[in-house]
Amino acid sequence: MSEKRSSEALREFISETEEIVETINLDLVTLAEKLDSGEYDPDLINGIFRGAHSIKGLAGMFGFDDLSQLAHRMENLLDQLRLGKVPFNQFTVDALFNAVETLSRLINGKSEDEHFTLDLSASFERIEQAALGKAAAGDDPLAGLAIDSAILNVLTEYEEHRLLENIKKKRNLHLVRVDFDLSSFDQELAELTQQLKQQGEVISTLPCIGDIGERISFQVLFGSERDQADIRALLGRDSLDIRTFGESAAPAAAAAAAVGMVFEEPPPLPAANGETLPATADAGSLRSISRTVRVDIDKLDLLMNIVGELVLSKGAITGISERLRSSGEKELAGDLTKATRILERRLHDLQKGVMDVRMVPVGQLFEKMTRIVRRVSNEQGKKVELDIRGADTELDKLIIEDVSDPLMHIIRNAIDHGLETPAERREAGKPEKGMICLWAAQKGNHVVIEVRDDGRGIDPERVRRKAVARGLVGEGQELTRSEIYELLFLPGFSTRDEVSDLSGRGVGMDVVKNNISQLSGMVELTSETGVGTCMTITLPITLAIIKALIVKVAGQTYAVPINSVQETLMIDSSQVRTIERREVLELRESTLPLLRLDRTFSLAHGGRPADQKLFVAVVGLADKRLGFVVDDLLGQQDVVIKSLGKVLAFVKGVAGAAELGNQKTILVLDVAGLMGEALRGESVNHV
């Protein structure tokens, strides 16, 4: 049991530290954007500092000295940065990014083997070098400031630094005293602090010591561009006293008397975030603010499998009800049908609830890409801006995880292959900073993710020449632009003449396509030379329980995911035409390519009368459409997709298997894979 508890505790540690690292990474990205202006929100540094401190404590509890030491050194550097002891420059920010990258690698490694470690000497050295960049000391600007020493003496080192920063920016310094009702002072003080933060920086919050009675007073030291009249009008309170300090302010003694700053004993120390810390750590509450419960995805899978079995049982009960009705037991069959409908509604609610738990915003995926963009752009010496939209679009957690590596490779390719160097962009009349757009949107039962860049684009003629040189196409063979771009997804194909650390080795895009196809998704590429490239990934929202259209082909039964089915048709054989050796159907003034599933899977049909009616299931992903020609449509049914396993992973056109209510197992068609192969005119593996 102790080993199990240890294993569960380790998983919790990995999960929590991973979340903290992702938050730190996002805050560092925001901090790096402030390098040009040199001004940043101090709360940003405080948040990163607290994150490093949390990782240090957690790692220490588990005996991970390497993690703890790295987080500790990172924490020290952040402390010096927030106190103004080291300069806010590119070198310091890069050292912090390097530390976060190393933290992430350590955490990922320990998730596989808790004894995993790395050589941290390089990271330690970078942090030490950044820490040596001491800010030059100057004259004390507080010497001539008419702020009572009783106030200055109780400021923490950090608050004193923030006070100096406000003085350097020539802001007005206000000491705002407000009386609150004792029963509601905490809420009112928080509201007041929030109002002030919108107009400047709250440097410190101090209690007033004296005869409290039914009311309590607080003083807020506040820096702002606003003058005293503006602050008074903003707050709009009766019990309000404001004193402004500076060279023209009243003498310190008069200011102290005005605000009643007489301390008989040191007050509780103000925290960095403006809240008052208790005298001892034990006095604080240990209750978690978050109401989020982490659930292992394997547990959700188990729950979803149980729901799937219940769905199948419901289907079996429906079949029994129909058999009872046909045997003459109409009353009993009617009661069973009513009970089945109630069960169906409850199952639907349960299924939806489990699915909602599995759904996560793609923002979790996009957040990981910010670090990739920054690191790769620095390595390539390119300036890149990332535009993220639709981060709240939701996808199944498992799909999010499985698509992360393909998306990472696409973004790396966009920076390495697509975006030009700053010098090349200037010559082309473009801004020095390239743009990569990462957009997501839900379209029906699918999510579409677009990765766009405004780089050099892909020259189709160059791709064609490479393909001819490698014998993939004939010298005189005519290819459309989309067919040329499809060549980029062939194994080993690359337009790079030289090999880089990122790409050009002839691997990658075929793996990207295969990985996305395994998720029943599609990837498409469009490009314009000199303008840029767009990679579009279309994915189903979930791969768990789906509603499927059951079809029959040459005596075999298949399931087609209903989220890909746009409509079903019954046509005469005479309506099918052949254009360029492909069967098509004229449908509402547009041409619909057809795919005969019996020929695709080499099924013996036994002959079909020429005048026999044909059934067509029109499927579509993104803006592509295709008609599956089948013998019969057997209706819709909820199915649970099961993987075919690694042994049959090579089979194209099949997404998995599903069990029907009559204990019969059928194959679920991979719509995206079949469409991709059919629209390119390629054959599908026989099954």
**Among the options 25, 166, 172, 413, which is catalytic?**
413
Give the burial string for 640-671 (b: 16+ CB within 10 Å, else e).
bbeebeeeeeebbbbbbbbbbbeeeebbbbbb
State which H helix or E strand residue 256 sits in.
Answer: helix 252-259
Q: Which residues pair with 571 in a beta bridge?
A: 614
Q: What gap in Å lies between CA 626 and CA 619, rounded to an integer?
A: 5
Q: What gap in Å lies between CA 402 and CA 422, rounded to an integer?
A: 34
Query: Are residues 618 and 592 in contact, defined by beta-carbon separation less than 8 angstroms?
Result: yes
Token pair 């998704």 is at which residue? 521
Taking the CA of residue 452 as centre, how many other CA atoms within 13 Å lie in the half-sphere pointing to its CB?
13
Q: Which residues pair with 548 in a beta bridge?
A: 561, 637
User: Residues, the chain, total?
Assistant: 687
Phi then psi for 465, rounded to 5 degrees? -65, -40
Active site residue 475: no
Phi then psi for 254, rounded to 5 degrees? -65, -40
Active site residue 413: yes
Give the burial string for 266-280 (b: 16+ CB within 10 Å, else e).
eeeebebebeeeeee
Q: What gap in Å lies between CA 572 and CA 614, rounded to an integer?
A: 6
Q: What gap in Å lies between CA 590 and CA 592, rounded to an integer?
A: 6
Taking the CA of residue 197 as centre, how many other CA atoms within 13 Å lie in the half-sphere pointing to its CB?
13
Closest CA to 504 of 412, 373, 433: 412
Long-range contacts of 108-113 (CB under 8 A, 24+ apart): 110/10, 110/14, 110/64, 110/67, 111/14
Closest CA to 239 of 187, 176, 175, 178: 178
Q: What gap in Å lies between CA 539 and CA 362, rounded to an integer?
A: 12
Q: Which amino acid, 385?
A: E
**Among the options 16, 18, 46, 53, which is catalytic?**
53
Can you tell me whether residue 137 is helix, strand or coil?
coil
Residue 512: count other Cβ atoms within 10 Å of its Cβ.
Answer: 22
Q: Give, in order, the Cα–Cα distances in Å from 678 to each of 228, 342, 482, 545, 560.
A: 73, 42, 14, 27, 16
Q: What gap in Å lies between CA 578 and CA 585, rounded to an integer?
A: 9
If phi > 0 it is left, if psi is from -120 to 50 it is alpha, else beta; for residue 174 that is: beta
Active site residue 75: yes
**Among the options 75, 159, 394, 677, which is catalytic?**
75
Give the burial string for 604-635 (b: 16+ CB within 10 Å, else e).
eeeeeeeeeebbbbbbbbbebbbbbbbbebee
Residues tagged active-site:
53, 75, 413
